[in-house]
């Protein structure tokens, strides 16, 4: 496929997710990750340019770390989805995830827009689960909600530890401020985790 074809597919997934995901539901692991690597490579170049060349290593590091993050988080989501009726095997699932999230990855570097794109990515993930892997709507929603709930629990546990430790040193006010920031950051990060891999967390 010519490079223009890859970018056309990324735009199609953003603009017409149901049709585009149905078209690529048989995407292989390597083909799907090619989309994601290409998208994050472009972002790496943009980040390097924006920093006047001081972040040149990002051209390589960003796509590598983002793709590893996508594979890890994608595998976790696949395990949950498989239990709830997903018909796709892990390679196909990760490949389809790579295609589905590549357009979102292209937008992830833009301030504010990246956050909105991550939230929209949750909808695309829902479409991917229902249209691309044969899951029922309720099962797909539960698959998305489980990581959110787990992350929220993690946020509460960490916040409680922060309050306890700082409170013991008489820093109650600081503990309250940090708890609010930490809880908001962790619970808000789930969209980025699912859509852009570990490097896409929106703290």
CB 143 within 8 A of CB 129: yes
pLDDT the model gives residue 141: 94
For 90-126, the pLDDT digits (tens) are 999 999 999 999 999 888 888 888 788 888 989 999 9
Select the highest-mean-pLDDT range: 54-58, 74-78, 150-154, 166-170.
74-78
In the chain, where the domains are located:
3-146+183-200
Q: Report residue 1's pLDDT band, with 50, 70 and 90 as the boundaries.
A: low
pLDDT the model gives residue 182: 47
pLDDT the model gives residue 54: 66
* Percentage of residues of the chain with pLDDT beyond 70: 77
CB 109 within 8 A of CB 41: no
For 7-62, the pLDDT digits (tens) are 899 999 999 999 999 999 888 999 999 999 999 899 888 888 887 766 677 788 88
Please give the model's pTM, rounded to 2 decimal places. 0.77
pLDDT the model gives residue 149: 82
Judge whether residue 82 has pLDDT over 80: yes
In the predicted model, what is the mean pLDDT of residues 156-170?
68
pLDDT the model gives residue 183: 45
| DSSP E strand stretches across the chain | none
pLDDT higher at 146 or 184 = 146
CA atoms within 13 A on the CB side of 170: 0
Which residues have a Cβ under 8 Å from the Cβ of 102 and sit 6 or more positions away? 6, 9, 10, 13, 35, 36, 38, 39
Judge whether residue 181 has pLDDT over 50: no
CB 135 within 8 A of CB 81: yes
């Amino acid at each position: 496929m010519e490079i223009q074809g890859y970018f056309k597919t990324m735009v199609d997934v953003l603009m017409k997710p149901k049709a585009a995901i149905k078209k690529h539901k048989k995407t292989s692991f390597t083909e799907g990750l090619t989309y994601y690597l290409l998208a994050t490579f472009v972002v790496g170049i943009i980040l390097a340019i924006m920093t006047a060349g001081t972040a040149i290593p990002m051209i390589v590091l960003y796509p590598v770390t983002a793709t590893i993050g996508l594979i890890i988080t994608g595998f976790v989501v696949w395990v949950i989805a498989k239990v709830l009726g997903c018909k796709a095997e892990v390679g196909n699932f990760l490949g389809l995830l790579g295609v589905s999230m590549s357009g979102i990855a292209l937008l992830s570097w833009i301030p504010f827009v990246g956050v909105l794109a991550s939230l929209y990515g949750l909808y695309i993930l829902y479409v991917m689960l229902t249209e691309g892997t044969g899951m029922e709507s309720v099962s797909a929603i539960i698959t998305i909600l489980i990581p959110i709930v787990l992350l929220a629990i993690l946020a509460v546990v960490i916040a409680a530890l922060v309050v306890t430790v700082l409170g013991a040193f008489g820093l109650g006010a600081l503990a309250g401020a940090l708890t609010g920031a930490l809880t908001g950051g962790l619970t808000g990060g789930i969209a980025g985790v699912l859509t852009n891999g570990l490097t896409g967390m929106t703290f």
